[in-house]
Amino acid sequence: MPTLCAMGLTRLPSVHKPLVFLSLTFTLSGLCYFMLQQDADELYGLGLIASPALSALFTQLLFERTLRGLGWTLRAPRWTVLGYVLPLLYGLVVYLTVWLTGLGDVSVAALAAQVADPGAGSAGFLGSYAFKTATLGVLFAGITAFGEELGWRGLLVPELARRLSFTSTALVSGALWTLWHTPAIVLFEYNNAGAPLLYGLACFSVMAVSLSVVLAWLRLRSGSVWPAVVLHASHNAFIQTLLNPLTVPNAVTPYVTGEFGLGLAVVTALLAWLAWSDRKNLPPLRETSSAPGEVGLPR
């Protein structure tokens, strides 16, 4: 099979690399959103989730003629462990506050009513379900999280960081990631638990940009995409499948809990500030690019 070199093709200027990735991602996801409006087929949903990863793989091959450089190597495991633990910690801060203050009630029966689990209602149900969420739940959530993170953090973040400061890298990638999610929220009210759309979208945007700061920091601090994948998966598993279903809402609860509530927006913003404060300790980028002299960070 002929290589690009054998065909006489040279590398494209690296300045175009993020633009090509973004063009492909938004084109593919736009097609999937359009098809989902016509037919709510799971296949189109999977295509939407996979569009950043597919775009990243194609872009990397196009510019570098290799799939190296997307952060495949699992470096210091402590960063992956941190990615796993953080969502559980900030999730518990929000939901314990809600349960203890009466902004919402906690009910194992409510959780049991929402899940198709043979052990629902038994004495050990909560412990068993929490263990499954923390293990298999995070593992399965990691499959879909990988579809997003390989693109947004695997490719885009280090490419932006070669040209921009950490602050700009995190905010630009966060704004684009939020924009990518917006059609699902507006068209399908994805995961909205009852807060008004504009309020929920505002809270989600703050949370998504804040998490993007943390995810960009993890990607650059570790030199690997896997801590970001694990944090994304852990967030989806613990927030969406354990803590939300455990909560019995009242009139105020939707304004505080979930990805469209104020609670996660506030705690992730604080976490983003901590990550941003550590930007001076970010190491030089390890992966090579077609323009290795372009290095940003850490402003």
Q: Is residue 84 part of a domain?
A: yes
pLDDT digits (tens, 9 = 90+) for 36-63: 888 878 888 999 999 999 999 999 999 9
CB 226 within 8 A of CB 74: yes
Distances (CA, A) of 142 to 23, 100, 147, 150, 167: 25, 31, 9, 11, 27
pLDDT at residue 124, rounded to an integer: 87
Position 292 in a domain: no
Residue-number span of the structural domain to which 223 is assigned: 75-281
Lowest mean pLDDT among 66-75, 133-142, 207-216: 66-75
Q: What is the pTM of this model?
A: 0.90
The answer to which of 21-30, 184-193, 220-229, 273-282 has the lowest mean pLDDT is: 184-193
Burial of 107 (0-12, 13-18, 19+ CB in 10 A): middle
151 within domain boundaries: yes
Q: Does a structural domain hold residue 124?
A: yes
Q: Is residue 224 part of a domain?
A: yes
Task: Give dist(CA 17, CA 58) in Å, integer.
Answer: 11
Let me know if residue 16 belongs to a domain. Answer: no
How confident is the model over 269-290, as a mean pLDDT?
84
Q: Which residue has the higher pLDDT, 9 or 151?
A: 151
pLDDT reported for residue 28? 96
- DSSP state string for 82-151: HHHHHHHHHHHHHHHHHHHHTSEEE-HHHHHHHS--TTTTSTTHHHHHHHHIIIIIHHHHHHHHHHHHII
| Rounded CA Rg of the chain | 20
Question: Quick check: 43 and 269 in contact, CB under 8 A?
Answer: no
pLDDT at residue 158 is higher than 70: yes
10 within domain boundaries: no
Among the listed residues 60, 268, 58, 78, the one whose alpha carbon sits nearest the alpha carbon of residue 170: 268
User: What pLDDT, on a 0 to 100 scale, did the predictor assign at position 11?
Assistant: 62
Cis amide prior to 118 (ω within 30 degrees): no
Please compute the mean of the pLDDT values over residues 133-137 and round it to a whole number. Answer: 97
Query: CA nearest 183: which of 18, 41, 42, 31?
Result: 31
Residue 56 lies in a domain: no
Higher model confidence: residue 184 or residue 205?
205
Q: How far apart are CA 143 and CA 206, in angstroms?
A: 25
Tally of domains within the chain: 1
Whether the per-residue pLDDT at 152 is higher than 80: the answer is yes
Tell me the per-residue pLDDT of 61-95, one tens digit each, with 9 for 90 and over: 999 999 999 999 988 899 999 999 999 999 999 99
Comparing 58-72, 174-188, 279-293, the range with the smallest average pLDDT is 279-293
Residue 122 is predicted with a pLDDT of 74
Pick the more confident residue, 3 or 26.
26
Whether the pLDDT of residue 119 is over 90: the answer is no
